[in-house]
Amino acid sequence: MGHPTAPADALPTTAQFCEEDDVLDPSALPGLSRPERVRTVDAWLGDLLADAVGGTPPPRQRRGGPPPLTGTDGVALVAVGSLGRRELPPHGDLDLVLVHDGRPEIAAVADALWYPVWDAGLRLDHSVRSVPEAVSVASTDVKAGLGLLDARLVAGDAELAARLRTATLASWRQAASRLLPQLRDLRRDRARQLGELAFLLEPDLKEAYGGLREGQVLRAVAAAQLGDEPGEELEQAYGFLLDVRDELRRRTGRPSDVLVRQEQRPVAAALGLADEDALLREVSLAGRRLAFVVDETWRRVEAALVRRPRGRYRRVRREPLAEGVVRQGDEVVLAQGARPAADPGLLLRAAAAAARADLLLSPYTLKVLAVHTPPVPEPWPAEVRWSFLRLLASGRSAVPVLEQLDQEGLLTRLIPEWDRVRSLPQRHPWHRFTVDRHLIEAAAAASELTRDVDRPDLLLVAALLHDIGKGWPGDHSEVGEPIAAGIAARMGFGEADAGTVATLVRHHLLLPATATRRDIDDPATIDRVAATIGSDPAVLQLLHALAQADGAATSASAWSPWKAHLVAALVARVQAKLGGAPAAPQPVLTPTEPQVTAPALDGAVGAVTVGIEDVADGQQVTIGAPDRPGLLSTCAGVLALNQLDVRAAKMTVEDGYGTGVFAVRPRFGRAPVPEILADAVRAALEGTLPLADRLRQREADYRQDGGRTAPPRISWHNGEASGAATGIVEVRAADRAGLLYRLTAAITGEGLDVTSALIETLGADAVDCFYVCNPSGSPVEPEQRRRVDDALEAATLGAAADPVGTADTPGRLR
């Protein structure tokens, strides 16, 4: 893609950037604009070639390409790659080809040319070719062929360089049917490795799918005469990515194309953008546009390269799909009698028909609909709403069709609020997509659950809108509630149905948050959920399906089998509360029969036992031992030492014997060994295993928080547990080895019992919730909470905790 160059009178002289011995000063190049940088390097290389062949450089020209230099007949220095495209970034490589026409001293000329480049400290990719040699390589090597399409004369014999370009283009067109599929496969492999530019928080601006490479692909297809030259909109997207890359390299001083997080804010400021999120959004929009056009281009190329049988021309069959919509080949087009300007429902009818047939709208049809479709009446007519729901219910095949509508600006015509979330980045570690793509993925996932609910239409719309509030400041669930209600009403839903959609948006996190951060065996938890949803079984049913769709559209970490199990168990309990089930389900954590028994501790009643059972997405470990201060914390420390991540824990004590049930997941895939756990628990309780020291060493060996020292967020939730004396303390902190051990030790040190714990990991952070109470049965007083807060903060920041289980520890940790 070509880009405007600086005026000729802005051309710096070579002397400004070169020393007296004609060695370029690379440190001066990053500070120049892209056109100035290219012209400076071109001028320097022209002088080098003149010296190499013994000639003298010609006077600088203000317009047009450089004329042949004296003594350079039959020799041309040609730039390819970024220099050939006039896109040389700061700290970029020089890709040069020395083209010759059989001159015998070409090896000496090449040495005299390359060595000064190396001496200047520049990276160089070079070759020496005759025109037939270059064409031969380009016709067999797709990367070489792609590079030579960018060939541009820097200095030397212009006629020779023109012959090279003409021959290269002819060869590329002749070999296109063989080389273009290779190029397509190369790009798809890179996409699998690096992901899509539009959805990455630290994207590779060049190689990620939708990056700068896609601009080169489009030029290559156009050169093969199988596609159009990129238009102005695409040029702008490509140029913006070039600007971001230039500023990134200028900032870092390195030839890196990965837009790392720590550089995003300064790059945004340099480009005049508000902040790093604004930068990522613009990068996403540019990448999505490039990816969208390239996808369509590849479909055209593949169709053009398919060999058709010889003989009489066969007319493509047109198959009716809906009123005014037909299938033609592998695309959906408008029927001959369709009148988009007089038919507001045609747009969504065509989109739904395409998705249901697992096809795409043809680009021409999409343009016609974008130009001629009138505004949809408000509220939407029933037929329009039905088509929209039919589109959403198509599942995965609806995703590319919705992307077509989005890229043509049609989705924001239907839902103007959509523009606020378009390509909006999500910095939560679980999210794979931008907000808008996440919503579409959630709707696709919800389509697979429509048979599980009584109102699939409300489920689909709520899935599409559940995060719409992220486009505005504030809590997105609260902000999104009235916005979703307004959109649903505009779609033609009645007041009651629009209210249900709003309720689903407001409480779409209720079930997963409660299941992972509250004791779902506590009746108070069930009562609170039932009250929140207005004791409506239909809303509970829809929220369950919405939670599943939301989790599936986020990531595997966001919706693990364990979380699905917890949410389903919570729903079953609430259904029982509402009368929708005959009896309350069994507890989530139930003791497993012991498989290993270690010898009894001296002077203690009962031996140490361990039982292990496979459960959803991990194992359940049951540890029995004589009750003593810090028992739960000791068990948690032993599990951490054995590289087992605890996700939930519950401790009960009866007749002086404690039983702890832990839901765990092996950090490195190794299942727990009961004999090892039993011996370790016994040793820790006896004091022969220095648990605190071992965990500190493990933390030092496996530190993954990059030395983060941000304070934790500690909050108390009173009145949400059964019993006035029971409190819930929630800790959000950087995850680290033995964190649960440290936190429970800190709570024990302040004289509180822990009866259960729920642990959730959000990327590099942990959210741990503890049910705590005073052994005396009295409520937790404000002063005691303050001391607990201080102890928990010290524990999360790495302060050494006293070994748990010593005789002078005040209080028991159950």
Structure confidence at residue 706 (pLDDT):
46
| Strand pairing report for 609-615 and 618-626 | antiparallel
Structure confidence at residue 798 (pLDDT):
66
Same domain membership, residue 696 and residue 657: yes
Q: Which pLDDT band holds residue 133 (cuts at 50, 70, 90)?
A: very high
Q: What is the rounded CA–CA span in Å between residue 461 and residue 446? A: 9
767 compared with 807, residue with greater pLDDT: 767
Helices (H), 329-397: 346-356, 363-372, 382-392
Residue 491 — φ and ψ, nearest 5°? -75, -10
Helices (H) and strands (E) in the chain, counts: 30, 17
Q: Which pLDDT band holds residue 588 (cuts at 50, 70, 90)?
A: confident
Residue 267: give its domain's CATH number: 1.20.120.330
- For all residues of the chain together, what is the average pLDDT? 88
3-class state of residue 751 by DSSP: coil
Residue 71: give its domain's CATH number: 3.30.460.10
Supply the DSSP symbol for 18.
Answer: B
Q: What is the rounded CA–CA span in Å between residue 371 and residue 368? A: 5
Chain centroid offset of residue 260 CA: 13
The answer to whether 97 touches 78, Cβ cutoff 8 Å, is yes
Structure confidence at residue 581 (pLDDT):
64
Q: Which of 548-562, 659-673, 707-721 has the lowest mean pLDDT?
A: 707-721
Q: What are 458-493's pLDDT values in tens digits?
A: 999 999 999 999 999 999 999 999 999 999 999 999
| Residue 567 belongs to a domain | no
Reply yes or no on whether the pLDDT at 554 is more than 70.
Answer: yes
| Residue 344 belongs to a domain | no
From 124, 159, 174, the end of a domain falls on: 174
Q: Which of 50-64, 267-281, 506-520, 550-564 has the lowest mean pLDDT?
A: 50-64
Question: What DSSP assignment string belongs to 196-237?
Answer: BGGG-SS-BTTTSBTSHHHHHHHHHHHHTTSSPPP-HHHHHH
Structure confidence at residue 14 (pLDDT):
40
Share of the chain above pLDDT 90, in %: 68
Reply yes or no on whether the pLDDT at 54 is more than 70.
Answer: yes
CA angle at 288 for the pair 286 and 289, rounded to the nearest 5°: 65
Structure confidence at residue 71 (pLDDT):
64
Burial class (CB in 10 A: 0-12, 13-18, 19+), 182: middle
| Residue 776 belongs to a domain | yes
CA dihedral of residues 467, 469, 470, 471 (deg, nearest 10): 130
| Residue 498 belongs to a domain | no
Structure confidence at residue 20 (pLDDT):
44
Reply yes or no on whether the pLDDT at 768 is more than 60.
Answer: yes
Q: Does 379 sit behind a cis peptide bond, omega within 30 degrees of 0 on the bond before it? A: yes
791 compared with 590, residue with greater pLDDT: 791
The answer to whether 621 touches 677, Cβ cutoff 8 Å, is yes
Helices (H), 25-126: 34-53, 81-84, 106-119
Q: Which pLDDT band holds residue 376 (cuts at 50, 70, 90)?
A: very high
Reply yes or no on whether the pLDDT at 283 is more than 90.
Answer: yes
Cα–Cα nearest to 456, from 362, 542, 338:
542
Interaxial angle between packed helices 561-577 and 537-554, expressed in degrees from 0 to 180 and rounded to the nearest 10: 170
| Residue 61 belongs to a domain | yes
Q: What is the rounded CA–CA span in Å between residue 802 and residue 747? A: 12
Same domain membership, residue 38 and residue 80: yes
Same domain membership, residue 748 and residue 783: yes
Structure confidence at residue 59 (pLDDT):
42
CA dihedral of residues 629, 633, 636, 642 (deg, nearest 10): -80
Cα–Cα nearest to 50, from 26, 31, 15, 22:
22
Residue 645: give its domain's CATH number: 3.30.70.260
Q: Which pLDDT band holds residue 1 (cuts at 50, 70, 90)?
A: low
81: domain range? 8-174
Same domain membership, residue 191 and residue 75: no
How many Cβ atoms sit within 10 Å of the Cβ of residue 767? Answer: 18
Supply the DSSP symbol for 9.
Answer: G
Structure confidence at residue 766 (pLDDT):
85
Cα 698 to Cα 17, 209, 730, 740: the distances in Å are: 53, 39, 25, 14
Structure confidence at residue 803 (pLDDT):
41
Same domain membership, residue 79 and residue 24: yes
The answer to whether 195 touches 208, Cβ cutoff 8 Å, is yes
Q: Which pLDDT band holds residue 2 (cuts at 50, 70, 90)?
A: very low
Same domain membership, residue 785 and residue 641: yes
Q: Which pLDDT band holds residue 19 (cuts at 50, 70, 90)?
A: very low
Same domain membership, residue 742 and residue 645: yes
Q: What are 97-117's pLDDT values in tens digits?
A: 999 998 888 999 999 999 999
By residue count, the chain amounts to 814
Q: What are 601-623's pLDDT values in tens digits?
A: 766 667 899 999 998 788 999 99
| Residue 411 belongs to a domain | no
Same domain membership, residue 253 and residue 110: no
Q: What are 410-448's pLDDT values in tens digits?
A: 999 999 999 999 999 998 777 889 999 999 999 999 999
Reply yes or no on whether the pLDDT at 316 is more than 80.
Answer: no
The residues, any chain, with a CB within 8 Å of residue 175's CB and separated by 6 or more, are 139, 140, 145
Structure confidence at residue 615 (pLDDT):
85
Same domain membership, residue 785 and residue 702: yes
Same domain membership, residue 765 and residue 703: yes
Across 24-33, 61-70, 233-242, which has the greatest mean pLDDT?
A: 233-242
Tokens of 364: 């021409």
The residues, any chain, with a CB within 8 Å of residue 333's CB and separated by 6 or more, are 318, 325, 326, 327, 361, 362, 364, 365
Reply yes or no on whether the pLDDT at 15 is more than 90.
Answer: no
Domain count, the chain: 3
Q: Which pLDDT band holds residue 306 (cuts at 50, 70, 90)?
A: confident
Same domain membership, residue 703 and residue 757: yes
Q: Which of 377-391, 568-582, 728-742, 800-814 has the lowest mean pLDDT?
A: 800-814
Q: What is the rounded CA–CA span in Å between residue 72 and residue 103? A: 10
The residue-averaged pLDDT of 552-578 equals 91
The residue-averaged pLDDT of 157-178 equals 94
Q: Which of 134-143, 150-159, 166-175, 304-313 has the lowest mean pLDDT?
A: 304-313
Structure confidence at residue 23 (pLDDT):
64
From 281, 305, 329, the end of a domain falls on: 305
812 compared with 575, residue with greater pLDDT: 575
| Residue 315 belongs to a domain | no
Same domain membership, residue 197 and residue 148: no
From 105, 139, 174, the end of a domain falls on: 174
Chain centroid offset of residue 73 CA: 53
| Residue 641 belongs to a domain | yes
